[in-house]
C-alpha cells in the first residue's frame, strides 16, 4: 500500500491508531531501529534523491521515489527486520511490543 499524504488523519477520536515514522535519507533509515506498540502504523518516507524499495520477509513497499511514503500497520508483537531491496547493507528493524 502506498500513501502519499499524512500517515493517519487525526479525527479527534480517542481511539485513533498510534503511528510512527521512519525517514529514508543518505542511504540509511532514521531511526534504524524503532520500537512501537502493537497496532501501530509505521510510515517510511523517502527524503533522498535515490529510489528505494523496502523489503521485509513477508512483504515489500514497492518503489519509493523522493517524497513517496509507504505505511504498514504492525498487528503482531515481534521484531521485523527489513532492508533496501538492492542494498542489503541498508537495513533497519521494527520492534513491536
Contact, 55 vs 85, CB < 8 A? Answer: yes
Compute the average pLDDT of residues 7-28: 75
- Going by C-alpha positions, the residue among 80, 37, 22 that lies closest to residue 56 is 80
Question: What is the reported pLDDT for 14?
Answer: 55
Eight-state DSSP code of residue 32: S
d(CA 11, CA 84): 33
Q: What is the pLDDT of residue 10?
A: 44
pLDDT digits (tens, 9 = 90+) for 28-69: 999 999 999 999 999 999 999 999 999 999 999 999 999 999
CB 55 within 8 Å of CB 87: no
CATH of 2-96 among 3.30.450.20, 2.60.40.420, 2.40.50.100, 3.30.479.30: 2.60.40.420
pTM attached to this predicted model: 0.83
Mean per-residue pLDDT for 11-31? 85
pLDDT per position as a tens digit, 83-96: 999 999 999 999 99
Amino acid at each position: 500500500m502506498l500513501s502519499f499524504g499524512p500517515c493517519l488523519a487525526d479525527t479527534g477520536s480517542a481511539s485513533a491508531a498510534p503511528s510512527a515514522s521512519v525517514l529514508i535519507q543518505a542511504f540509511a533509515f532514521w531511526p534504524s531501529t524503532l520500537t512501537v506498540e502493537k497496532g501501530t502504523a509505521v510510515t517510511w518516507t523517502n527524503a533522498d534523491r535515490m529510489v528505494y524499495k523496502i523489503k521485509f520477509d513477508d512483504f515489500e513497499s514497492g518503489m519509493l521515489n523522493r517524497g513517496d511514503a509507504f505505511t504498514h500497520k504492525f498487528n503482531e508483537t515481534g521484531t521485523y527486520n527489513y532492508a533496501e531491496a538492492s542494498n542489503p547493507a541498508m537495513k533497519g528493524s521494527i520492534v513491536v511490543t
